[in-house]
Amino acid sequence: MQQPVIIYNTLSRSKEEFKPINPPLVGMYVCGPTVYSDVHLGNCRTFISFDIIFRYLSHLGYKVRYVRNVTDAGHLESDADVGEDKIAKKAKLAQVEPMEIVQKYTVGFRQVMEVFNVLPPSIEPTATGHIIEQIEMTRKLLENGYAYEVNGSIYFDVDKYNKEQNYGILSGRNIEDLLNNTRDLDGQEEKRGALDFALWIKAKPEHLMQWPSPWGMGFPGWHLECSAMSNKYLGSHFDIHGGGMDLIPTHHTNEIAQNIAFCGKHPANYWVHTNMLTVNGQKMSKSLGNSFLPHELFTGLHPLLNKGYSPMVVRFFMLQAHYRSTLDFSNEALDASEKGFKRMMAAYDLLEDLSTSDQSTSDIMALKKRCYDAMSDDFNTPIAIAELFEGVRIINSVKAGLETITPEDLEALKQLFNSFLFNIFGLTKDEHAANNVGKVIDLLIDIRNNAKANRDYATSDAIRNKLLEIGYQLKDSKEGTTWSTV
């Protein structure tokens, strides 16, 4: 822990020095996906942003227990506790078990995270795996007087809570404002107040996912799972709670109310929120129909895309914006990121064969400090990347003989690039290497064709056999030679 980390806290609406409750341990909870459909690129942006925070704090020596849940029950079509359960609805349409929907999209989500090289969290708990904890929390909230029962459903009493606490503490809005902006919705007659929300919902007999409880058969409200699971795995007061900023007004506001009413403690010291990925200025979302699936971006098979981009180019594109700024999706911005990523990786490759001398013309230690300063200032990846490009400039100048570098500084520069590119930014060379392998094989095919034309069959056979030995098979046809992996 070489330097203080500054973090923007939504709760205080200001930057604060990060001070863990029990250093070097850090507890971090991030709201995960609702697994009823494929994750879109906007969701990925949020999870990549928290991956960076997880990686950077770990890199500095903190031991982070990172909990990211999977919502596999209880998320209704509307945040106002009306409509169908999203997962059950999909299961009914597809005529499968809800848990088949959950399995399919959980597996899909994990695959996408792996492709983006997002590290798995320390614990990935599910709502359905914690029904007992949620019933217990509901029971305690009733006992503490912050909840009431109507016909087998239990609601949180916001009005009563707000008399003692500030319900709008996270959004900075007062309850009158919030009430003025609440629509009267059908199916809410059971609630005493328009801002009240369900902790436990009585299930109709045909509801597909329901559990026994002291109040009859039912299922938990969406906000409850995060309060119950963060409390179980990180305790009643932990370090960081995060999610996309669209979760501030309802989901996170209600989580805080539940936790405080449950045990009198505010759950987290720092609330961290990521800004939205937008398309033409509008939030990318499933319901707006403007969302890209990751594979559409990789293949380029989407009407808004000119071509495909590799996962690492997309990751690099996301890191070129600060997590608290919106990031607008465009072909031009992705093209620029692709160029930048290639330039960065090409410079990294050059590090191995730079010549050294007894003097450095650039101050590598100052560069290193600026990179860490940027990351320690609220995880400012765009500034850190801009600083690394200064490193790229130095590498290219040394290679061209315009600048010099000492062996110690070269070692420090290598370490800096390794730490930042691979450990902190979580980039991989795979794509870059795969592209290069393709180019090298194409080159070998050309050489082999020339050898064949010159009847040098020994050389042409040697190229084919050697490539096969290392896992690449050449296929000759009238159209020419193609290759594939074995």
User: Under the rule (CB under 6 A), what is the footprint of ligand AMP?
Assistant: 31, 33-34, 42-43, 45-46, 243-244, 246-247, 274, 276-277, 283-285
Least distance from ligand AMP to the Cβ atom of residue 18, Å: 21
Partner whose binding site includes residue 283, from Zn ion, ligand AMP, none (CB under 5 to 8 Å by kind): ligand AMP
- For residue 24, whether the previous peptide bond is cis, meaning omega lies within 30 degrees of 0, is yes
Nearer Cβ to ligand AMP (291/380) = 291
Nearer Cβ to ligand AMP (43/231) = 43
Least distance from ligand AMP to the Cβ atom of residue 120, Å: 16
Least distance from Zn ion to the Cβ atom of residue 31, Å: 3
At residue 425, what are phi and psi to the nearest 5 degrees?
-80, -15
Question: What DSSP string runs through 79-127?
Answer: TTS-S-BHHHHHHHHHTS-HHHHHHHHHHHHHHHHHHTTPPPPSB--BS
At residue 443, what are phi and psi to the nearest 5 degrees?
-65, -45
Angle between the N-to-C axes of helices 381-399 and 407-417, in degrees from 0 to 180, rounded to the nearest 10: 140
Nearer Cβ to Zn ion (31/424) = 31
Nearer Cβ to ligand AMP (45/448) = 45
Residues 6 or more apart whose Cβ sits within 8 Å of residue 407: 356
Strand 238-244 relative to strand 25-30: parallel, antiparallel, unpaired?
A: parallel
Partner whose binding site includes residue 229, from ligand AMP, Zn ion, none (CB under 5 to 8 Å by kind): none
Least distance from Zn ion to the Cβ atom of residue 468, Å: 51
Q: Which helix (H) or strand (E) holds 394?
A: helix 381-399
Partner whose binding site includes residue 44, from ligand AMP, Zn ion, none (CB under 5 to 8 Å by kind): none
Nearer Cβ to Zn ion (62/271) = 271
Partner whose binding site includes residue 226, from Zn ion, ligand AMP, none (CB under 5 to 8 Å by kind): Zn ion
Q: How large is the greatest C-alpha to C-alpha distance in the chain, in angstroms? A: 92
Per-residue tokens: 274 = 């990521």
Using alpha carbons, select from 225, 235, 315 the residue that is nearest to residue 267: 235
Partner whose binding site includes residue 234, from ligand AMP, Zn ion, none (CB under 5 to 8 Å by kind): none
Determine the Cα–Cα distance for residues 84 and 91; give it in Å rounded to an integer: 11
Nearer Cβ to ligand AMP (326/436) = 326
Determine the Cα–Cα distance for residues 45 and 387; give it in Å rounded to an integer: 22
Per-residue tokens: 195 = 């801002």
Determine the Cα–Cα distance for residues 473 and 344; give it in Å rounded to an integer: 31
Per-residue tokens: 238 = 């932990």
Least distance from ligand AMP to the Cβ atom of residue 91, Å: 17
Q: Give residue number: closest CB to ligand AMP.
A: 244
Nearer Cβ to ligand AMP (209/284) = 284
Nearer Cβ to Zn ion (31/427) = 31
Partner whose binding site includes residue 284, from Zn ion, ligand AMP, none (CB under 5 to 8 Å by kind): ligand AMP
Nearer Cβ to Zn ion (31/80) = 31
Partner whose binding site includes residue 42, from ligand AMP, Zn ion, none (CB under 5 to 8 Å by kind): ligand AMP
Least distance from Zn ion to the Cβ atom of residue 247, Å: 7
Least distance from Zn ion to the Cβ atom of residue 4, Å: 28
Determine the Cα–Cα distance for residues 65 and 234; give it in Å rounded to an integer: 8
Least distance from Zn ion to the Cβ atom of residue 123, Å: 14
Least distance from ligand AMP to the Cβ atom of residue 31, Å: 5
Least distance from ligand AMP to the Cβ atom of residue 119, Å: 17
Using alpha carbons, select from 207, 227, 206, 210 the residue that is nearest to residue 219: 210
Q: How many angstroms separate the Cα of 431 from the Cα of each of 113, 298, 329?
A: 16, 11, 21
Q: Which helix (H) or strand (E) holds 7?
A: strand 6-9
Nearer Cβ to ligand AMP (84/159) = 84
Least distance from ligand AMP to the Cβ atom of residue 226, Å: 11
Partner whose binding site includes residue 246, from ligand AMP, Zn ion, none (CB under 5 to 8 Å by kind): ligand AMP
Partner whose binding site includes residue 285, from ligand AMP, Zn ion, none (CB under 5 to 8 Å by kind): ligand AMP
Angle between the N-to-C axes of helices 311-319 and 331-350, in degrees from 0 to 180, rounded to the nearest 10: 100
Nearer Cβ to ligand AMP (149/246) = 246
Strand 197-202 relative to strand 218-220: parallel, antiparallel, unpaired?
A: antiparallel
Determine the Cα–Cα distance for residues 316 and 337; give it in Å rounded to an integer: 7
Which positions lie near Zn ion, rule CB under 5 A? 31, 226
Partner whose binding site includes residue 130, from ligand AMP, Zn ion, none (CB under 5 to 8 Å by kind): none
Partner whose binding site includes residue 244, from ligand AMP, Zn ion, none (CB under 5 to 8 Å by kind): ligand AMP
Place of tokens 């050309």: 446
At residue 232, what are phi and psi to the nearest 5 degrees?
-70, -45
Determine the Cα–Cα distance for residues 15 and 426; give it in Å rounded to an integer: 25
